[in-house]
Amino acid sequence: VSVQKVAVLGAGGWGMAIANLLSEKGYNIGLWEFDKTAADELESTRVLPSKLPGISLNDNIAVTNNLSAAVVGAEFICFVVPSQTLRATARKLLEIDLLKRPILINLAKGIEVGSLKRMSEVLAETIPLGSYSGIATLSGPSHAEEVSRGIPTAVVAASRDKEIGSAVMDLFRTRRFRVYTSDDILGVELAGSLKNIIALAAGMLDGLGLGDNTRGALLTRGLAEIVRMGKKLGADPITFSGLSGVGDLVTTCLSRHSRNRFVGEQIGLGQTLDEVLAKMSMVAEGVETTKSGYQLSRYHRVEMPITTQVYHVLFDGKSPAEAINDLMIRDPKPEDWS
């Protein structure tokens, strides 16, 4: 396919980084911003230091609050909005004739609270089948701050349809942005979402001043409970060892760029969730995902001890130190995954 135009919905840090990456490949980009004032300002200033410091948008990116202007004629539509707003964003597309049956690419990492749907499921059930040609999710360790500075990054493009996955790989790949493919979109989406709960827990460890051994144990047992849930829902367990699983888990749990880790750290230092969130301008996806992860665990009766403890800390006022202690004194057992 010769690509002319790509729509990027959501002009936060990741949306801007993706718009820049794609624009450097020569595509024209329609970058849609939900808020009219913010869209106008970004279109004229080309910078948003609070979300992506030090980076300017390239010339062939048109920032707009007009969704039709962004999406009409695009061969690809990238959804880079907060996960809990994806359904509302997708619904807005229903009124528009997209013209070109685009490939829809989800870049949000979350599970809808209440419905417990993954993002590609939300897209598939919102947008009529005939109006798009495929759905994919792009995921993996990819902090916007680093991608926009050209730091080597590797991600995975997942789609049940291998041709769609390959098309998305070709759309994004550069010498600095390596894209693998996967046909396990279920596993990729679960991994990318649930790992944010573990990142919150890792931040709590940091806030409590615990060490590298504890963090290694937490990441591993966190991965184990994500694998358990994944298997229950039909994912391929090995997906969780990949870029969207281990890779993103590691990066998120350790990076100073991670908002989820940051929220956990502040809570580990003694603040309440409300106090932390009141000071943040960006969304920490892990907070809502802790709700949906906890709901998934209960609904499917899959044991997720770390998710459960994070839930109690965030929403029931349990102290992080007590939560860690409760995790450590559980009965010993085989290192199982079932």
**Contact footprint for a copy of itself (CB under 8 A):** 140-143, 146-147, 149, 151-154, 156, 169, 173, 175-176, 178-183, 210-217, 219-221, 223-224, 227, 237-243, 245-248, 250-251, 253-257, 324, 328-329, 332-335, 337
The least CB distance from residue 330 to a copy of itself, in Å, is 8
Residue 291 CB, nearest approach to a copy of itself (Å): 26
CB of 87 to a copy of itself, least distance (A): 28
- Yes or no: say if 73 and 42 are a contact pair by the CB < 8 Å rule: no
Q: Which of 109, 195, 232, 318 is catalytic?
A: 195
Q: Has 232 been annotated as catalytic? A: no
Query: Which lies closer to a copy of itself via its Cβ, residue 245 or residue 293?
Result: 245
b/e per residue 4-16 (b: at least 16 CB within 10 A): ebbbbbbbbbbbb
Asked if residue 316 lies in contact with residue 334, where contact means CB atoms within 8 angstroms, the answer is: no
Q: Which is nearer to a copy of itself, 7 or 223 (CB)?
A: 223
Shortest distance, position 262 Cβ to a copy of itself, whole Å: 13
* 210, two tokens: 């615990």
- Retrieve residue 250's tokens: 């590691």
Nearer to a copy of itself, 128 or 332 (CB): 332
By beta-carbon proximity to a copy of itself, the closer residue of 84 and 182 is 182
- Which of 111-115's residues contact partners 24+ apart within 8 Å by CB, and which partners? 111/83, 111/189, 111/190, 111/193, 111/194, 111/289, 111/292, 111/293, 111/296, 112/83, 112/84, 112/86, 112/87, 112/292, 113/84, 113/288, 113/291, 113/292, 113/295, 114/292, 114/295
Residues carrying an active site annotation: 195
